[in-house]
Amino acid sequence: MSSTIQLGDIDVDVTQKNIKNVHLSVYPPTGRVRISAPLHMSLETIRVFAISKLAWIKQEQRKLREQERETPRDYVGRESHYVWGKRYLLKVVEVDAAPCVELKHSNIILKVRQKSSRAKKQEIMAQWYRSLVKDATTPLIAKWEPLLGVKVSKLFVQQMKTKWGSCNPVAKNIRLNSELAKKPPECLEYIVVHEMVHLIEATHNQKFIKLMNRFMPAWRHHRDDLNRRPLAHENWGY
């Protein structure tokens, strides 16, 4: 069941479903607000909850407005792209072979067939970023499973429009945003640990925070570093 409530000039999308707790999110790039609430909760109760969080909502929206955006990419020579937080220059090479991407010194070598379109180049780069995240995450999961006492059943990596990661505590699956390949490795590890801790505690309550403080004391620093970095140039929705 979906509806909208207004808090002054702020529209809040409300989705009611079979859950136990209320979840409030502010999404990039425009700061759209969404609340997921239990089915039994009245719209007026949800409104009171949203009003109590109004200062936080405005603060998050202000952060998003001020956050740097990546410029649109054309996938041409000497264009800047990022890998693990470092800037590289793109070099496009036409080949009569299967397309691939290589990292060499200060360059990303994008090998494509002749007359490949911008969309095709973008697709190849996106696949490469997904593989980077998956390859880097597998040993991180192996590292943290015994430390946290959890077991991840499956790892999924994809382009996600509203989150850096998510998990399914019941199925024990973790899903990561392939855009993390552009951020420092410490940011990826923070998101991996964040989602794995959700396998112990599903919500962002005090228990969750205590677990993060215990296992990754610098998690707030990594979170803030990630949030300061440029967002992808996309019309994000949800």
Domain count, the chain: 2
Q: What is the CATH number of the domain that holds 183?
A: 3.30.2010.10
Same domain (yes/no): 126, 203:
yes
- 66 and 230 in contact (C-beta within 8 Å)? no
On whether residue 99 sits in a domain, the answer given is: no
Q: How many CB atoms lie within 10 A of CB 65?
A: 11
**Host domain of residue 204:** 118-228
Q: What is the pTM of this model?
A: 0.73
Q: Tell which phi-psi region holds residue 78, choosing left (phi > 0), alpha (psi between -120 and 50) or beta.
A: left
Same domain (yes/no): 122, 60:
no
Same domain (yes/no): 127, 194:
yes
Q: Going residue by residue through the chain (238 aa), what tens digit of pLDDT does each one get?
A: 788 999 988 999 999 988 888 999 887 667 889 999 999 999 999 999 999 999 999 998 887 776 656 677 899 999 999 999 999 999 999 999 999 999 999 999 999 999 999 999 999 999 999 999 999 999 999 999 999 999 999 999 999 877 899 999 999 999 999 999 999 999 999 999 999 999 999 888 889 999 999 999 999 999 888 877 766 644 333 2
Same domain (yes/no): 128, 34:
no
Contacts of 213 (CB under 8 A, 6+ apart): 219
Q: How many CB atoms lie within 10 A of CB 185?
A: 13
